């Protein structure tokens, strides 16, 4: 398992359009439809990040990289079923996790929102109790911890929002062990929580018993330069 993170930077429109020419048309159309430029940049950086990783890990040239999607829209590589990946982005960060088993990752920028109302509507009673038992200064962070753990589990399952958020519960015991509870039974996945700076919460879900704490931080300009060289091969 490996976890990568890129802090996004401004990209000129000209450079953005040029890089888009080297990715598949479906993703390019998706990027072009975004109104917010930050959405364009995050999506593009996520795309060239996974393509660069695939080249490094599998030696597949860019023009030969093709993605299929399962019935819920989760992408995978048909020719390399042992290569599992998942991408998430929020704020200024794009993150990606790869593994030889199913993997889910979620990152969220902590924003001041009406977290109690969201938790009441989408979280279990157990999860809500975990949040509100803390002092007010800690509750927002606890909300985002649960949110990213739940999202990472859904992404690990690869079934999208067909899994209702209230259909399972995240349980964090006094020893900080994290489990999924479905119909009062603990399930198999392993979780790990991360903080990337003070403003972000991140979680990874896998059946791999050893989720690395090491995050490979990649400079955006270095990523673009490396991708441009590999794209020409």
pLDDT in the model for residue 198:
84
Contact assessment for residue 145 and residue 153, using Cβ atoms and an 8 Å cutoff: no
* Distance (Å, whole) CA 220 – CA 186: 40
* Distance (Å, whole) CA 111 – CA 140: 8
What band does 123 get if pLDDT is binned at 50, 70 and 90? very high
Same topology between domain 1-101+210-233 and domain 103-207: yes
pLDDT in the model for residue 233:
60
pTM listed for this prediction? 0.94
Q: Is 3.40.50.300 the CATH classification of the domain at 103-207?
A: no
pLDDT in the model for residue 43:
96
What band does 232 get if pLDDT is binned at 50, 70 and 90? low
The CATH fold of domain 1-101+210-233: Ribosomal Protein L22; Chain A (3.90.470)
Name 106's bridge partners.
Answer: 203
Which residue ranges make up each domain of the chain? 1-101+210-233, 103-207
How does pLDDT run across 160-212, given as a tens digit for each residue? 878 889 899 999 987 788 999 988 777 778 999 998 888 999 999 998 877 87
pLDDT at 113 over 70: yes
């Amino acid at each position: 398992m490996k976890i990568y993170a890129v802090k996004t930077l401004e990209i000129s429109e000209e450079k953005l359009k040029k890089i888009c020419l080297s990715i598949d048309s479906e993703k390019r159309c998706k990027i072009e439809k975004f109104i917010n430029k930050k959405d364009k940049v995050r999506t593009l950086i996520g795309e060239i990040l996974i393509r660069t990783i695939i080249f490094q890990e599998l030696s597949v040239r860019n023009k030969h990289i093709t993605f299929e999607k399962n019935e819920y829209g989760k992408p995978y590589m048909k020719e390399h079923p042992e290569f599992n990946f998942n991408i998430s982005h929020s704020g200024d960060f794009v993150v990606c996790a790869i593994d030889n088993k199913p993997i889910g990752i979620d990152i969220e920028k902590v924003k001041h929102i009406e977290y109690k109302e969201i938790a009441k509507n989408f979280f279990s009673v157990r999860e809500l109790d975990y949040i509100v038992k803390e002092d007010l200064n800690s509750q927002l962070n606890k909300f985002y911890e649960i949110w990213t753990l739940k999202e990472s589990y859904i992404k690990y399952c690869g079934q999208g929002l067909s899994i209702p958020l209230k259909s399972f519960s995240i349980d964090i015991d006094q020893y900080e062990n994290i489990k999924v509870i479905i119909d009062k039974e603990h399930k198999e996945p392993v979780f790990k929580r991360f903080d990337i700076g003070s403003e972000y919460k991140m979680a990874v879900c896998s059946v791999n018993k050893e989720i690395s704490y090491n995050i490979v931080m990649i400079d955006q300009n270095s990523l673009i330069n490396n991708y441009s060289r590999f794209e020409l091969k």
